[in-house]
Amino acid sequence: MQVDFAFICDYAEATNKVNALGIGFDTIMAGRVPVRHPNFFLVIQLRANVVEAGEKNFEVHLIDEDGKEIIPSVKGKLNIPRPPAGTESTGRIAMRFDGVEFPRYGAYSMHVLVEGHEMARIPLRVAQAPVPSQN
């Protein structure tokens, strides 16, 4: 199984194809911390052959730079349809996260595991917003 793509964005839906807005942001600017981000989406597309296809357990972890989870891990099931022999099929996840509180400035990352194997690690940073100049 391989990852075709994985990113964080402002909005997404995954049906027969992925539709997404604000693709690939990696920094949240904050005037102070803790900061609560209203919402964002995690998107991942996996490609599997006939042997790898089927129902898969997945987990998503959002951790800080010390490895501490800042929200409880999210678990679910993903069904990757069994393709005809010699071809591949895809499974897609578009998962919404609402009101996530980031406790401090620094590096965070989202980790996506499928059947216990890390398939994607997406960096995310919370940075001090620039102070407007007083001209």
pLDDT tens string 99-133: 999 999 999 999 999 999 999 999 999 999 988 77
Task: Quote the pTM value.
Answer: 0.91
pLDDT at 135 over 80: no
Please indicate, yes or no, if residue 22 is contained in any of the structural domains: yes
- pLDDT digits over 14-26, tens only? 988 999 999 988 9
Q: Is residue 18 part of a domain?
A: yes
pLDDT of 85 higher than 90: no
Number of folded domains that form the chain: 1
Q: What is the extent of the structural domain holding 24? A: 2-128
Q: Please report whether residue 135 resides in a domain.
A: no
Cis peptide before 38 (omega within 30 of 0): no
Whether residue 77 is contained in a domain is answered as: yes
In Å, how far are 66, 80, 120 from 94, measured between CA atoms?
Answer: 26, 14, 14
Q: Is residue 134 part of a domain?
A: no
Question: Is residue 133 in some structural domain?
Answer: no
Does some domain include residue 15?
yes
What CATH number should be reported for the domain holding residue 100?
2.60.40.2550
- The answer to whether residue 95 sits within a structural domain is yes
